[in-house]
Structure 1
Amino acid sequence: MEIRDAHFPGRAPVDAYGDGGFRFAQMSHRGSLLCVPSGIYGWNLADPSEFSLDAFATVFEEQADIEVLLIGTGTDLRPIPAELKERFREAGILADPMATGAAVRTFNVLLSENRAVAAALLAVD
């Protein structure tokens, strides 16, 4: 049996969040998500303390197509590490941390406006 990393090859709004996961494109996913121009990926992070340059490697690989990165930090707003904030600035990406619910809503609006947006969303219960 072949097990693949979760990946949806396209851009789609997030229809719902909570109970430890998300719904989008008539599918559901348990766990966190990384939504970038190349698609929506399962993201193996559960807490903002896990934010690192490696955790955002996919974002940096696609930085030419991303102007805004919304970072859903769970139920509460949590700051991102200074090193990570500086790396986003160097890449020309405006990284905006916020609670996951706010990040989902803002992502959907910017996506509907066809903006160069990405989202890193920690799952919430």
Structure 2
Amino acid sequence: MTWEAGQGHYPYQAVIDAYGDGGFRFAEMSHRGSVMSLPTGMYAWDVDAAAGITLQSLSRALEAADALDVLLIGTGPDIAAISPDIRPAFREKGVIIEAVSTGSAVRTYNVLLAENRAVGAALISVAKAR
């Protein structure tokens, strides 16, 4: 099953089995484009570059902040700066923000999820896994 960006929502949070080639694999599905994982499920995320990471594009995660301790932001193939208004908005809700490359975010997300931690991730898709 392939799930295209903008189409939908998978109702459970899932381990990410693979990333690269412009998408992600999880729950025996393939998703093209960026993805946001929250305790309420996996969502298509309409962000394709670090410049698109804004408080507005993270609004779904901010709405879920009561169920999160950590939000990992995968900024693409490299670490990139995020808007300075993001961290304080999440800190006010008690959520730690970690902005790292998408590969690092995926690996950390999977470990924290396996530990049953209250973790979310907003991940920009990348062409090549590293």
The one of 15, 21, 24 aligned to 2:23: 21
- Identity over the aligned pairs, expressed in percent? 48
- Cα distance per residue 1:12-52 (max 9 Å; x no partner): 10000000000000000000000000000000100110111
Determine the structure 1 residue equivalent to 2:103: 101
Higher helix share: 1
TM-score normalized by the length of structure 2: 0.91
Q: Distance in 1 between matches of 2:85 and 2:56?
A: 12
Unaligned segments of structure 2, at least 5 residues: 1-5
The TM-score, its normalising length taken from structure 1, stands at 0.94
The answer for unaligned runs of 5 or more in structure 1 is none
User: What is the total number of aligned residue pairs between the two structures?
Assistant: 122
Which stretch has the larger CA shift, 51-60 or 8-17?
51-60
CA-atom RMSD in angstroms: 1.0
Following superposition, the deviation at residue 5 of structure 1 comes to: 2.8
Letter in 2 for 1:86: P
Alignment match, 2:37:
35
- Structure 1 equivalent of residue 75 of structure 2: 73
For residue 114 of structure 2, what is the aligned residue in structure 1? 112
Per-residue CA deviations over 1:60-86 (Å, capped at 9, x if unaligned) read: 111100000000000000121111121
